[in-house]
Amino acid sequence: MSAGDPSRLDRIVAEARLSAQRRERGYREQALKIYPWICGRCAREFTRANVRELTVHHRDHDHDNNPPDGSNWELLCVYCHDNEHQRRLEASAGAGSPSAGRVSTYAPFADLKERMAKKRPPK
């Protein structure tokens, strides 16, 4: 009768969410199948016991881009994955650190400070 049935809308939203979750699980399983269980950054190896700490990163940061050959996926441990997104955030926020380049430490700025204070005497 009435066009605006709220419970029906709820169901549609719930279904969309569910299918998104299912798809997510799908590409994770797929990625774990085609790639070795090793973090692409720190080369930490994973086993069944801790594979939950290994996550699927999207190289282009587009979670809807899931080619079946896995070319947009990269397996990263939770720490490196976090780091990767942090850097991306900082970059897009225009933090404007010139040529931070590929710093693989957790705290690039602390590292930078140390490098700038190079004048320490060698003990």
Residue whose CB is less far from Zn ion, 5 or 86: 86
Which one of 27, 77, 83, 108 is in contact with Zn ion (CB under 5 A)? 77
Q: Please check whether residue 56 is in contact with residue 31, taking contact to mean a CB–CB distance below 8 angstroms.
A: yes
Q: Which of 59, 38, 35, 60 is nearest to 47 (CA)?
A: 38
Window of 16-24, 79-87, 91-99, 101-109 that interacts with Zn ion by CB under 5 A? 79-87
Window of 8-16, 17-25, 36-44, 115-123 that interacts with Zn ion by CB under 5 A? 36-44
Is the alpha carbon torsion for 11, 12, 13, 19 positive or negative? positive
Q: In terms of C-beta density within 10 A (0-12 exposed, 13-18 middle, 19 or more buried), how is residue 41 classed?
A: middle
Taking CB under 5 A as the rule, does residue 63 contact Zn ion?
Answer: no
Site residues, Zn ion (CB under 5 A): 39, 41-42, 57, 77, 80
